[in-house]
A and B are shown apart, each in its own frame.
Chain A
């Protein structure tokens, strides 16, 4: 649940979601769920000349499994907090 919580802190931020089919969508993170499905609003396709499919689309829902990367703004990320949370999560998911 670590990254679910992490993405909840990123709601409202501009992000760029790069999909496994190489499409990259820039938008404002509206919501996320436990599967890391993503809803973006005010979207703009990066390199829209190559991918005109979404000219008229303002909001979208992206299935988590098709995401390759999410580019984030570094100022919005508290790296120390993240590292601490990762250490704690690692302990709680490792059971003998």
Chain B
């Protein structure tokens, strides 16, 4: 393999998270949960501290067999939240809702 000269521009996935410090981020978590908040800190485990967070929990109501399922969401606001990294699935920017 040819050696390329080392460059500070080479980005690892965690560099993309670093770019979003002090920006709004969208997190998908285990347990059908989503978070939107301002990213204040993170580490290599994806532990994070978020500010001004909105949590959305998606719940599927399964009625008796044959009847329809209904989906509803529960929202919650938390001013400052530490999130343990082992629950994080993905980190992205918030969806644009004009």
Contact = CB atoms under 8 A, between A and B. Distances in A.
Interface in A3-33: 3, 6-7, 20
Interface stretch (A44-52, A53-61, A88-96): A88-96
B78 A94 contact: no
A87 B29 CA distance: 23
Interface residues on B, range: 20 to 34
B21 A3 contact: no
- Interface of A, secondary structure class, is helix
B91 interface: no
Interface string A69-96: 1111110010100110111011001101
Interface in B37-64: 38, 40-44, 47, 49, 51
Interface residues on A, range: 20 to 34
Contacts of B84: 36, 64-65, 67-69
Interface of B: 6, 12, 14-15, 17-18, 21-22, 31, 38, 40-44, 47, 49, 51, 78-84, 86-87
